[in-house]
Structure 1
Amino acid sequence: MSDVKFVFQNSEDILQFIYLPIVPSRSQEKVEAKTASTITAKRLGITTIDPVLARERYVYDSKNQPVEYTLSSYNAYKYSFNIEIHHE
C-alpha cells in the first residue's frame, strides 16, 4: 500500500475535498478574550486565571446554508489573530 498524504491549509480545503459541491462563500467569526474554563485550562496546560482567545466561527455556502461551526480556544500568551478582509 502506498503512503498517501493529504495537506490541508484550512477547513475550507477539507470541506472541498470531502464535499466537492460545497464551496464556502462567507463566514462569520467572533474572537474574544476571557479566562480559561477548567476544561480548557487543563487541555491547554494553563490555569483558570490565564487568558484565552475564544473563537466562534460559522461558515456558509453560496445558498447561505451553514456548512461549518467551530469553537476554538487559544492560549492568549502564544497566539494572535491577523485578519485580512477582501470586499468584492
Structure 2
Amino acid sequence: MLNGDVLAKVASDTLNANFNSQSLEEGVVLLATREDDGSFAVRRVVQNQAVVNSALAAFATAGAEKAKAEELAKEQMAVEEQRAAARAALKVA
C-alpha cells in the first residue's frame, strides 16, 4: 500500500524536527486538518507501528468497501438494463 501513487510531498524543518530518525518503521501517520484555503496543515507526526498498522488496516477496509459498492452499482445497472430491455420488448409485442 505504501508503494502506490504519491498524493503529495511535504517537507519542512519543523516536520523533520518532529520525526524521530531512531524509529524508522514502515511508515508514519501524519495527522492533518484541511484549511479554508484548501491546503492541509500537518498537526502531528505519529511514529508508532500499531498506529501505522491500524491506519493501513482502515485503508484496506475502506478500499474493500469501495470495491463492494462499485460491484453492487454494476449489478444494479445490469438489472436496470434488463428491465429496460424487457419494457422495450413488451412495447414491440
**TM-score (norm. length: structure 1):** 0.27
More strand as a share of residues? 1
* More RCO (CA 8 Å, sep 6+): 1
Larger radius of gyration: 2
More helix as a share of residues? 2
**TM-score (norm. length: structure 2):** 0.26
